[in-house]
């Protein structure tokens, strides 16, 4: 027979005191569902290149890599996220390096990537593989690979850094170490990962490649852009227009288990249909101009700008200009997919 709960308020209070003292919680003593939900704190927002660039340049007056800071960055801080990351899962920063400067060698448990924005002459060396980065190139630094950067050109360079550090920090698995030397020894061949995976659809079948799972680190702008233009000749998507994902050519999977990167083109006159996903995203406008309506609010963007889309925010892109708009984006789709939580709806 069911027992009736007929005790007095005083008796309940005394009981709950004992529950707390025993290190327990009685969620039924509060109104609301037993499993508390959480509304996203991530806000739709735009960061303007016109504001970012001069502030990044001025940051050189205050800090230099190797002298008081390891890397000269400004992070895109989402106003809704207490940890000052770009979404709850993605941390995006812009990094500035003057001619002759180096960012010393280190490794860390977050996965990281960079997408070159401005300037010639920068390199990243990843586990001894020196990658010479041109604007529009994507270079990966998967955990826990050793990496250092430098600018060997004669103009400042700026790139986009993307990290899954908010997730790694949440999992209490965030570690980082400086390498004893500022720079690593470089392998005999510059761009070894690119040479190993020279052509789409072909992967090295040698025993050495199997033994050394050297993955593709450097994705060239020229190849990505050409692929985008060719894809536009055959197909487009109603929600994203012409879109490609950067993948690991050896497996066909997203570049990281936590983060995926995309390059997409919104062609002139295109207005995409609205959709929403359980994932979040940070976009960078590589070229052109347009607008994105996020949860009913229209945000205009132009070359160099960044914008964030929170989980489950309805969004649609439009290009009313005469030139194509090209967007690079970083999204946490693979993480949600791995957990069985990825959903997409119109
Ligand atoms: O350039 O390796 O924005 O280690 C944050 C941490 C960039 C980098 C960041 C890093 C790097
Ligand atoms: Fe790093």
Closest of 307, 208, 319 to residue 272, by C-alpha: 319
User: How does pLDDT run across 61-117, given as a tens digit for each residue?
Assistant: 999 998 878 899 999 999 999 999 999 999 999 999 999 999 999 999 999 999 999
- The maximal CA–CA distance of the chain, rounded, in angstroms, is 84
Ligand 1 pocket test target in 66, 76, 103 with most atoms within 8 Å of CB: 103
Percent of the chain residues past pLDDT 70, beyond the cut: 97
CA 112 – ligand 2 centroid, Å? 7
Spatial contact of 270 and 319, defined as CB atoms under 8 Å apart: yes
Average pLDDT for 318-325: 98
| 18 DSSP assignment | H
- Tell me how far the alpha carbon of residue 222 is from its chain's centroid: 21
As a whole number, the mean pLDDT across the chain is 95
For residue 76 and ligand 1, the question of a CB distance below 6 A is answered with: no
Q: Which residues contact 320 (CB under 8 A, 6 or more apart)?
A: 268, 269, 290, 291
Task: Answer yes or no: are the C-beta atoms of 239 and 273 closer than 8 Å.
Answer: yes
pLDDT at 336: 98
Place of tokens 């400042």: 156
Q: What is the pLDDT of residue 7?
A: 83
pLDDT given for residue 212 in this prediction: 67
Structure tokens at 219: 């994705």
pLDDT at 42 over 90: yes
- Give first-to-last CA distance, the chain, whole Å: 49
The mean pLDDT value for 21-35 works out to 94
Q: Which atom of ligand 1 is nearest to the CA of 73?
A: 3
Q: What is the pLDDT of residues 150-203, one digit of tens each?
A: 999 999 999 999 999 999 999 999 999 999 998 999 988 899 999 988 888 888
Q: How far apart are CA 288 and CA 301, in angstroms?
A: 9
Between 141-145, 179-183, 259-263, 286-290, the lowest mean confidence (pLDDT) is in 179-183
Residue linked to tokens 């052109």: 288
Atom of ligand 1 nearest to the CA of 95: 3
The listed CATH number (2.40.50.140, 2.60.120.10, 3.90.1010.10, 1.10.3720.10) that belongs to domain 45-345: 2.60.120.10
Burial category of 131 from C-beta neighbours within 10 Å (exposed 0-12, middle 13-18, buried 19 and up): buried
Question: Given pLDDT bands bounded at 50, 70 and 90, which one contains residue 345?
Answer: very high
pLDDT in tens, 109-155: 999 999 999 999 999 999 999 999 999 999 999 999 999 999 999 99
Ligand 1 centroid distance, CA of 103 (Å): 9
- C-alpha–C-alpha distance, residues 152 and 54, integer Å: 22
Is the per-residue pLDDT at 204 higher than 90?
no
Cα distance between residue 60 and residue 346, in whole Å: 45
Q: Whose CA is nearest to atom 7 of ligand 1?
A: 161
Instruction: Using alpha carbons, select from 98, 144, 155, 102 the residue that is nearest to residue 124.
Output: 102
Is 108's C-beta closer than 6 angstroms to any atom of ligand 1? yes
Beta-carbon contacts of residue 257 (< 8 Å; ≥ 6 apart): 334, 335, 338
Confidence check: pLDDT of 216 > 80:
yes
Answer whether residue 213 shows pLDDT above 90: no
pLDDT value at residue 4: 65
pLDDT of residue 96: 98
**In angstroms, what CA-CA distances link 88 with 63, 84, 306?**
27, 9, 16
Rounded to whole angstroms, the Cα distance separating 279 from 327 reads: 17
How is residue 322 written in tokens? Answer: 């005469």
Q: Is the CB of 112 under 6 A from ligand 1?
A: yes
Q: Give dist(CA 280, CA 88) in Å, integer.
A: 8
Return phi, psi of residue 171, to 5°: -80, 0
- φ/ψ of residue 262, rounded to 5: -135, 150
Instruction: State the Cα–Cα distance between residues 56 and 208, nearest whole angstrom.
Output: 43
| Atom in ligand 1 nearest the alpha carbon of residue 141 | 2
Tokens 């690079």 identify what position? 328
> At residue 1, does pLDDT exceed 80?
no
CB 183 within 8 A of CB 100: no
β pairing state of 325-331 and 45-47: unpaired
**Alpha carbons 241 and 270: distance in angstroms, whole number:** 8
Please indicate whether residue 126, judged by its CB atom, sits closer than 6 Å to ligand 1.
no
């Amino acid at each position: 027979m069911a027992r009736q709960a007929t005790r007095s308020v005083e008796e309940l209070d005394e009981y709950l005191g004992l529950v707390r003292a025993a290190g327990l919680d009685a969620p039924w003593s509060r109104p609301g569902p037993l499993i508390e939900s959480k509304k996203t704190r991530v806000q739709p927002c735009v960061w303007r290149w016109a504001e970012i660039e001069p502030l990044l340049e001025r940051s050189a007056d205050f800090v230099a890599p190797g002298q008081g800071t390891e890397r000269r960055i400004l992070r895109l801080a989402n106003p809704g996220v207490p940890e000052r990351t770009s979404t709850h899962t993605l941390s995006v920063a812009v990094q500035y390096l003057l001619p002759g400067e180096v960012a010393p060698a280190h490794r860390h448990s977050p996965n990281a990537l960079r997408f070159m924005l401005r300037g010639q002459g920068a390199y990243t060396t990843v586990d001894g593989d020196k990658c010479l980065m041109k604007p529009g190139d994507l270079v990966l630094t998967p955990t826990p690979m050793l990496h250092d950067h430098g600018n060997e050109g004669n103009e400042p360079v700026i790139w986009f850094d993307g990290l899954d550090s908010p997730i790694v920090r949440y999992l209490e698995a965030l570690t980082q170490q400086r390498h004893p030397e500022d720079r690593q020894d470089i392998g005999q061949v510059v761009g070894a990962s690119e040479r190993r995976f020279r052509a789409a659809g072909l992967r090295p079948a040698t025993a050495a490649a199997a033994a050394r799972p050297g993955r593709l680190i450097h994705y060239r702008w020229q190849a990505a852009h050409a692929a985008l233009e060719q894809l536009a000749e055959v197909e487009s998507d109603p929600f994203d227009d012409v879109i490609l994902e950067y993948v690991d050519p050896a497996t066909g999977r997203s570049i990281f288990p936590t983060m995926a990167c995309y390059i997409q083109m919104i062609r002139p006159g295109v207005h995409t249909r609205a959709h929403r996903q359980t994932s979040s995203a940070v976009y960078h406008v590589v070229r052109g101009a347009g607008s994105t309506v996020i949860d009913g609010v229209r945000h205009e963007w132009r070359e160099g700008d960044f914008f964030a889309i929170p989980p489950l925010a309805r969004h649609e892109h439009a290009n009313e200009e005469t030139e194509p708009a090209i967007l690079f984006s970083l999204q946490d789709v693979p993480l949600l997919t791995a957990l069985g939580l990825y959903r997409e709806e119109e």
